[in-house]
Amino acid sequence: MQIAYQEMLTIPWHRLTTAYGRGTKIPELIKMEQYDKLAQLIEHQGTLWQVTPWVIQQLLHTLPNRSVESVKKEEIHLYIAVASAFTWEELTSCPVQHMDELLQEKWLWSVVEEGDEEEWEEWEENEPRGYEECAFISYYVYSEYQMRAAVPLFQNIANMRKDLAPSITELIELLMNRQKLWETI
């Protein structure tokens, strides 16, 4: 499993889906630290979306360079919402080998947003583009993998921010309870 950091501007957000449509506004929401809105877009009722591993990557990339005081409760709650979706017990399909593969044309939605309604209707009958089993499991695997790698960072924040410690402890427990599963991957 390999992850290479993607600059925010190189991610085709307008071609990746969220719980409520395309991810076009994701960069602005990240920049404006709109964590509640982001959480609603990247996780919905236990489902992660095409944008999820990329949002997690962007947020975790900036986290070590920020002051501990700048970390907001809503950001930690976003991570908890995503971690709560990690309920798979075994891989029913192989995830892609490199997270960048999720940006290949075969997984992306069309450039033109016209016809999105038809693509969403396709969801009811077939798997829409980017939600084939291999890609879909990859959204979970790569989101979780990145968050597990950030546990030491989360622990450091919890040690320095007692107000966030209970929420961060919950997050770390969600991630570490899956240790045995990850040992088999």
User: What is residue 91's predicted lDDT score, i.e. its pLDDT?
Assistant: 65
The pLDDT assigned to 111 comes to: 81
Read off the pLDDT of each residue in 134-159 and give the average, rounded to a whole number: 95
Residue-level pLDDT at 118: 64
Query: Taking residues 39-50, what's their average pLDDT?
Result: 96
pLDDT higher than 80, residue 105: yes
In the prediction, which pLDDT does 5 show? 81
Statement: residue 32 has pLDDT above 80? yes
What whole-number distance in Å separates Cα of residue 124 and Cα of residue 141? 24
Kindly state the tokens that stand for 107: 């997984």
Lookup: tokens for 18: 């969220």
Res. 84 pLDDT band, cuts 50 70 90: very high
Quick one: pLDDT at residue 124?
Answer: 61
Q: Between the ranges 68-72, 125-129, 136-140, where is the mean pLDDT highest?
A: 68-72
Candidates 70, 77, 74, 63; CA nearest to 146 is: 63
pLDDT band at 170 (very low <50, low <70, confident <90, very high): very high
Mean pLDDT score, 25-45: 97
Cα(66)–Cα(104) distance, integer angstroms: 31
Q: How confident is the model at residue 185 (pLDDT cuts 50, 70, 90)?
A: low
79 in Cβ contact with 42 (< 8 Å): no
Please, how many CA atoms are within 13 Å of residue 22, restricted to the half-sphere of its CB? 18
Q: Predicted confidence band at 79 (pLDDT cuts at 50, 70, 90)? A: very high
For residue 17, name the pLDDT band (cuts at 50, 70, 90): very high
Q: Over the Cα atoms of the chain, what is R_g?
A: 16
Q: Are 107 and 130 in contact (CB under 8 A)?
A: yes
CA 112 vs. chain centroid, Å, equals 24
pLDDT at 127: 74
Residue-wise over 19-29: b if at least 16 C-beta within 10 A, else e? Answer: beebbebbeeb
> How do the residues of the chain divide into helix, strand and coil, expressed in percent and rounded to 5?
60, 5, 35
